[in-house]
């Protein structure tokens, strides 16, 4: 099977497993795991942040950040199709007692004016006060889109005046960096809190970090334990993260190239389904609106041909490239997928 459902499906390589097996470990709840400590220092320094906190999932790294920025009864603004509001099962409401309001953006692309138009800080006794805004980069359900650093800067300078904090959901910030050339420290400048995932395109089996200043990270460490995610000799997991950072960032450009080639192959037969120019990173979103085939049917037909893709809506099919698929695999996809689409035109 050529598994393009997500970049989370990557499996740890032999070398990664060897590094994990050899990692020095200690009890991380006591702060004594050297491999976790060095990973937290490494990633926070990479983004120019004071401190970092290792977490078992990106959702938890997001939720710990939200916990630090937004008090119960206050609101977080985010894009309508962001992971925080669509794929974390209401965690912000359940764990932090916060409310959310959303703005809708084509392909999830940030236009600073959109959140600023609905932001209501210090709303007094009647209305909910906005205390934070989350930005997702790259934007997953937007099709792996890279946010403009100019829009991020604009949003930062305006929210500073309003006393509103910014959170970066950087699960795939590695892809954004490789595609845009923007330095990690540059991204780090504009956000009070950041979450990053090692378990997506970087290929680690587990692991995310929450990054911020010392005070927030110290408090988030308590909340992590309270949520039941205080891990012990988890340095074997952090070692996979070190390995991923050492070896797997620059190679993401390969994934991006292969994703674009899928989009080009589809565009050649069905130009309304995807525009290769909009495929910035490793995610290809196919919009099947106006075609007779449903996303779930196309996914089923692909599966019969040995290809797995995600039907994320009735007319939306997602394919994600990653380190466990080869150029030959994608050549096969680029033959079969256009054929199936063409067949649906005559059916």
Ligand X SMILES: *Cc1c(COP(=O)(O)O)cnc(C)c1O
Q: How far is the CB of 243 from ligand X (least distance, A)?
A: 18
State which of positions 148-177 bind ligand X (CB under 6 A).
Answer: 169, 171
Which member of 28, 79, 114, 136 binds ligand X (CB under 6 A)?
Answer: 136
Distance, CA of 92 to CA of 100 (rounded, Å): 8
The residue range among 57-65, 151-159, 219-227, 300-308 that interacts with ligand X, by the rule CB under 6 A, is 57-65
Distance, CA of 343 to CA of 337 (rounded, Å): 10
Contact indicator for 320, 7 with CB cutoff of 8 Å: yes
Helix (H), strand (E) at residue 13: none
Q: How far is the CB of 343 from ligand X (least distance, A)?
A: 32
Our CB check for ligand X shows the closer of 194 and 299 to be: 194
Our CB check for ligand X shows the closer of 58 and 203 to be: 58
Using alpha carbons only, give the angle 187, 92, 285 rounded to the nearest 5 degrees: 60
255 binds ligand X (CB under 6 A): no
Closest residue (Cβ) to ligand X?
58
The residue range among 56-64, 122-130, 147-155, 327-335 that interacts with ligand X, by the rule CB under 6 A, is 56-64
65 binds ligand X (CB under 6 A): no
63 binds ligand X (CB under 6 A): no
Residue 72 DSSP one-character state: T
State which of positions 185-204 bind ligand X (CB under 6 A).
Answer: 197, 199-200
Contact indicator for 16, 204 with CB cutoff of 8 Å: yes
Our CB check for ligand X shows the closer of 199 and 315 to be: 199
140 binds ligand X (CB under 6 A): yes
- List Cβ neighbours of 175 (8 Å cut-off, separation of 6 or more): 138, 144, 146, 201, 252, 255, 256, 281, 282
Which member of 28, 33, 53, 58 binds ligand X (CB under 6 A)?
Answer: 58
Q: How far is the CB of 39 from ligand X (least distance, A)?
A: 16
Contact indicator for 108, 136 with CB cutoff of 8 Å: yes
Q: How many CB atoms lie within 10 A of CB 29?
A: 14
Which residue(s) pair with 134 in the sheet?
A: 167
Q: How far is the CB of 100 from ligand X (least distance, A)?
A: 15
83 binds ligand X (CB under 6 A): yes
- List Cβ neighbours of 119 (8 Å cut-off, separation of 6 or more): 77, 130, 133, 159, 162, 164
208 binds ligand X (CB under 6 A): yes
Tokens 């090692």 -> residue: 198
Contact set with ligand X (CB under 6 A)? 57-59, 62, 83, 136, 140, 169, 171, 197, 199-200, 208
């Amino acid at each position: 099977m050529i598994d393009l459902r997500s970049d989370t499906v990557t499996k740890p390589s032999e070398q990664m497993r060897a590094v994990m097996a050899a990692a020095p470990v200690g009890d991380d709840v006591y702060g004594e795991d050297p491999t976790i400590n060095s990973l937290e220092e490494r990633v926070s320094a990479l983004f120019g942040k004071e401190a970092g906190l290792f977490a078992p999932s990106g959702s938890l790294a997001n939720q710990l950040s939200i916990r630090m920025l937004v008090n119960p009864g206050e609101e977080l603004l985010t894009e309508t199709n962001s992971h925080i509001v669509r794929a974390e099962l209401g965690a912000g409401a359940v764990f932090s007692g916060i409310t959310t309001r959303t703005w809708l953006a084509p392909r999830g692309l940030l236009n600073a004016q959109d959140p600023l138009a609905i932001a209501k800080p210090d709303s007094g006794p009647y209305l909910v006060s906005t205390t934070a805004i989350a930005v997702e980069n790259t934007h997953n359900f937007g099709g792996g889109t890279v946010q403009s650093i100019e829009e991020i800067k604009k949003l930062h300078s305006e929210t500073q005046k309003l006393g509103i904090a910014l959170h970066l959901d950087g699960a795939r910030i590695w892809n954004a960096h490789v595609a845009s050339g923007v330095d990690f420290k540059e991204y780090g400048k504009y956000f009070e809190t950041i979450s990053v995932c090692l378990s997506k395109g970087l290929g680690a089996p587990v692991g995310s970090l929450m990054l911020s200043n010392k005070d927030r990270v110290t408090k988030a460490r308590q909340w992590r334990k309270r949520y039941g995610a205080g891990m012990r000799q988890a340095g074997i997991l952090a070692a996979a993260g070190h390995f991923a950072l050492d070896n797997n960032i620059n190679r993401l450009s390969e994934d991006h190239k292969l994703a674009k080639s899928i989009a080009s192959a589809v565009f050649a037969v069905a130009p309304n389904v995807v525009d290769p120019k909009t495929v910035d990173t490793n995610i290809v979103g196919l919009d099947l609106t106006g075609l007779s085939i449903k996303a779930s049917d196309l996914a089923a037909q692909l599966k019969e041909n040995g290809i797995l893709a995600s039907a994320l809506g009735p007319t939306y099919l997602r394919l994600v490239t990653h380190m466990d698929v080869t150029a030959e695999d994608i050549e096969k996809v680029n033959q079969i997928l256009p054929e199936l689409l063409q067949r649906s035109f005559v059916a």
